[in-house]
Amino acid sequence: MKRTGTGRRNFLKGAAAGAAALVAEPKLAKGQQQQAQRGTAPLPNAAQAARETSPPPQAAVYTTDRPGSDFMAEVIKSLGFEYVAANPGSSFRGLHESLINFKGSPNQSPELLTCCHEESSVAMAHGYFKIEGKPMMIMAHGTVGLQHASMAIYNAYADRVPVYILLGNIADETWRRSDVEWTHSVQDAASMVRDFTKWDDSPASLQHFAESAVRAYKIAMTPPMEPVVLVADAVMQEEPVPQEDRGRLRVPKLNLSQPPAGDAAAVEEAAKMLVAADHPLIIAGRAARTPAGLQSMIELAELLQAPVQDRRFRMNFPTRHPLYGSGNIADADVILGLDVPDLWYAMHSMTPVNKIGMETRTITKPGTKVIHIFAGDLFAKSNYQDFGRYAEVDLSIAADSETTLPALIEACKKLITADRKRAFDERGKKFAETAERNRQRDLDAAAFGFDASPISTARVSAELWNQLKGEDWSLVSDVTFFSYWPLRLWDFKKHYQYIGGHGAYGVGYQAPASVGAALANRKYGRISVNIQCDGDLNYAPGVLWTAAHHKIPLLTVMHNNRAYHQELMYVQDMASRAERGIDRAKIGTTITDPNIDYATMAKAYGMYSSGPISDPKDLAPALKTAIQVVKRGEPALIDVVTQPR
Amino acid sequence: MKIALFLLTASAFLTGVAWTQTAPAGSADNGKKLFVKDGCYECHGYVGQGTKDGARIGPPPLNLEALIRYVRRPAGAMPAFTEKVLSDADLTDIYAYLRSVPAPKAIKDIPLLDELK
């Protein structure tokens, strides 16, 4: 980093000289050094004695009432963060101290959350955003901390979630006091994650920091929303605000951009295609993120009587609505994709892993028209391949779906005649019948293995629903690996009741993301529920302590199938392909011998827990007790030994 | 760690075919062991109840001959298990185990599910 403030340097010169004088002491023999390191108390030599008994050099400066980090904290507070998550690190110790001792509101807005791993910090911010709709800040070393954090940042990036990442770094090598500070310093801190963040900066002055901090927030919150990185130089944090800056530093005003809405003519064209269609189908990706977005989804689907295929990235549609999942993509003549990152995959099939070779097949019928409203078209990077396969569409609208939906609804309304309305109502009745059949099919399927041990995932879901149905609840976990049972059995209606999953399937997301989401739910008094995969929890289980320490009410129900089960199935596939050792796929993929006792693990972190529970009859009373604990405002974990999926 | 997902739906294990009334052959006890040892439970569940990655097969919806044919050349995403790794005799035992799995109760007799109707 280039230092521009020579005046600031002059201001500091006296302090630096004083410090140099203080550290100048006679060399010690090797043995003495070791003795000193061990903390024994040798008699002072003459130089030490003189230093301790003499008045300090006149130039020595020990304190400041105005460290640069105070101004940084002022900027950060202006952005309205509720929380900042961090595992402590020396490169941001100045800012850490400023935040927890800020004049007038120490450790408030943001409140510092103590995390045991930077991956946890980021994933907590990831989950928090998907409930609260605003970013959480995290702090980390620009080197080792960011290395820990990087997978979680990639998850957030792929899931289009803004995480505000502040990195500490010592840019000026002459200020690095030890090998620790050398190894924790970096020339270009953000480069490590630049492929999967939206913007970054390494400010060279406090005013530069202020403007970049506000700019970063604005960029992160403009769809497509993504993580951003801001580097806070450690020297700038810790040294006093330069004299020449005092009185002229200012916190810039934040004014968020209006999210991008679809071009009016393109929206009208989309409306014409949808209203004219006999079999329109809506595919929802990251379509809704607020109550208004969910309401728009319902309004559009009901207006057109168009079924919704949910890709389960967000709470896009009520799960018991007659139009939820009741359509078939092969029947559609017009498909409306709403921020669907995997649109190609929704419309094609591929040769599965069990067969040699690769063939793809279009699922849609010939002549089907495809409209895609997609904010992803406004921002793309090259290296990481989360953008998926290129989807051929007939009308591409580069815009945010939620922002565009009201205009699309109005455009459709203008075109719907009485005849079309009658036709829509007729097809709606068929979808209602299909939805009823689907529901009965799911209930029938849930009955199989209902009394089995290990406990079936359908049974766990039914037991949970029985205790949650009268509560204000929020499912804060992905349920892909739970055969989607909650989505098939529960009544999801509200925007906070489902938040999707990892983004990039980086395992280790679930436990911390659920804690972050539960933190966001806390002030609304909601019961947060996390169906926790065992393999995921083992990446960074320290987040259980964070939940206990900060009294974050969260019910964690272990999906303890004792395996990295997806990988187990894949290895089984490979063994079958090779016609050998089909009984050996468990090697390297299972988590047994010894079995992990998650109830004891949770207790060790200070959390209420029970289990392991293998008998389904024991589940209801255990859940009931745990929910009471959560209602008291604390986290609880129930270890349930489950069927694989 | 990155993991990928099965992108295709679970294998269609000839669902809809009437349950066979053929008397089971083979050892259900040994079949139960093989069902776990050879990894059948991974996709189908320990009692063959089915999951998002494998069809419901307990109790089996096929007769033994059809099951063996399907295992050798599955139509969906299920791996093909050749005779080299899974003999007809072992499959006969597995079939006997699946036949021994009790049929589920009716929904009306499971209060937790009945109230979801």
**Structure ipTM:** 0.86
Domain positions in chain B are 28-114
Residue A105 lies in a domain: yes
Is the domain of A480 the same as that of A619? yes
Nearest CA in chain B to A481: B52
Is the domain of A473 the same as that of A606? yes
Is the domain of A75 the same as that of A212? yes
Within 13 Å of residue A287, how many CA atoms lie on the same side as its CB?
Answer: 29
CATH number of residue A271's parent domain: 3.40.50.1220
Which domain does A406 fall in, by range? 264-427
The alpha carbon of residue A295 is apart from the nearest alpha carbon of chain B, in Å, by 24
- The reply to whether residue A506 touches residue B105, judged by beta carbons under 8 angstroms, is no
Q: Which one of B53, B74, B82 has the shortest CB-CB distance to A579?
A: B82
Question: Is any Cβ of chain B less than 8 angstroms from the Cβ of A591?
Answer: no
User: Is residue A203's pLDDT more than 90?
Assistant: yes
User: With a CB-CB cutoff of 8 Å, which residues 26-45 of chain B face chain A?
Assistant: 37-39, 41-43, 45
DSSP conformation class of A82: S
> How buried is B109 (Cβ within 10 angstroms: 0-12 exposed, 13-18 middle, 19+ buried)?
exposed
Is the domain of A232 the same as that of A366? no
Q: Where are the beta strands (DSSP E) in A129-227?
A: 137-141, 164-169, 199-201
Residue to substitute from A196, A354, A457, A464, interface B, most B β-carbons within 10 A? A354
Strand partners, A638: A557, A610
User: Is residue B17's pLDDT more than 50?
Assistant: no
Among A394, A427, A460, identify where a domain stops.
Answer: A427
Q: Which one of A354, A459, A569 has the shortest CB-CB distance to B74?
A: A354
User: Is residue A282's pLDDT more than 50?
Assistant: yes
Average pLDDT of chain A to the nearest whole number: 93
User: With a CB-CB cutoff of 8 Å, which residues 67-106 of chain B face chain A?
Assistant: 74, 76-82, 84-86, 104-106
Give the pLDDT confidence score for residue A399 in this predicted structure.
Answer: 98
- pLDDT (average), residues B37-54: 97
Q: What is the pLDDT of residues A337-377, one digit of tens each?
A: 999 999 999 999 999 999 999 999 999 999 999 999 999 99
Give the pLDDT confidence score for residue A28 in this predicted structure.
Answer: 37
Is the domain of A151 the same as that of A231? yes
Give the pLDDT confidence score for residue B117 in this predicted structure.
Answer: 86
Is the domain of A280 the same as that of A389? yes
How many residue pairs from chains A and B have C-beta atoms closer than 8 A?
147
Among A212, A245, A278, identify where a domain stops.
Answer: A245
Is the domain of A618 the same as that of A482? yes
Question: Is any Cβ of chain B less than 8 angstroms from the Cβ of A55?
Answer: no
Which contacts of A16-20 are long-range, i.e. CB under 8 A and separated by 24 or more positions? Answer: A17/A57, A17/A59, A18/A56, A18/A57, A18/A59, A18/A60, A18/A61, A19/A60
Nearest CA in chain A to B83: A579
The alpha carbon of residue A509 is apart from the nearest alpha carbon of chain B, in Å, by 11
User: Is residue A7's pLDDT more than 70?
Assistant: no
Residue A606 lies in a domain: yes
Question: Is any Cβ of chain B less than 8 angstroms from the Cβ of A345?
Answer: yes
H helix runs in chain B, sequence order: 28-37, 40-44, 64-72, 88-100, 111-114
User: Six-digit token pair at B102?
Assistant: 């009790």
Residue A432 lies in a domain: no
Nearest CA in chain B to A506: B2
Instruction: Classify domain B28-114 by CATH architecture.
Output: Orthogonal Bundle (1.10)
Is the domain of A405 the same as that of A279? yes
- The reply to whether residue B53 touches residue A645, judged by beta carbons under 8 angstroms, is yes
Residue A229 lies in a domain: yes
Is the domain of A72 the same as that of A146? yes
Is the domain of A622 the same as that of A525? yes
Total number of domains constituting chain A: 4
Q: Which one of A444, A483, A568 has the shortest CB-CB distance to B51?
A: A483
Is the domain of A401 the same as that of A308? yes
Q: What is the pLDDT of residues A137-185, one digit of tens each?
A: 999 999 999 999 999 999 999 999 999 999 999 999 999 999 999 999 9
Which of these, A399, A359, A565, lies nearest to B46 by C-alpha position? A565
Rounded to whole angstroms, the Cα distance separating A355 from A309 reads 28
Return the ∠ at Cα A374 (arms to A373 and A375), rounded to 5°.
130
Is the domain of A234 the same as that of A116? yes
- The reply to whether residue A582 touches residue B86, judged by beta carbons under 8 angstroms, is yes
Rounded to whole angstroms, the Cα distance separating A292 from A295 reads 5
- The reply to whether residue B4 touches residue A352, judged by beta carbons under 8 angstroms, is no
User: Is residue A31's pLDDT more than 70?
Assistant: no
What's this model's pTM, rounded to 2 decimal places?
0.90
Taking CB atoms and an 8 Å cutoff, what residues of chain A touch B41?
A: 644
Residue to substitute from A582, A590, A641, interface B, most B β-carbons within 10 A? A582
Q: Which one of B48, B81, B113 has the shortest CB-CB distance to A447?
A: B113
Residue A343 lies in a domain: yes
Give the pLDDT confidence score for residue B61 in this predicted structure.
Answer: 86
- pLDDT (average), residues A311-335: 97
Rg over CA atoms, chain B: 15
Helices and strands of chain B, counted as H and E runs: 5, 0
User: Six-digit token pair at A617?
Assistant: 């009859």
Which of these, B13, B104, B101, B24, lies nearest to B58 by C-alpha position? B101
- pLDDT (average), residues A177-196: 97
Q: Which of the four pLDDT bands, split at 50, 70 and 90, describes residue B25?
A: confident
Q: Which one of B82, B104, B116 has the shortest CB-CB distance to A448?
A: B104
Q: What is the pLDDT of residues A539-578, one digit of tens each?
A: 999 999 999 999 999 999 999 999 999 999 999 999 999 9
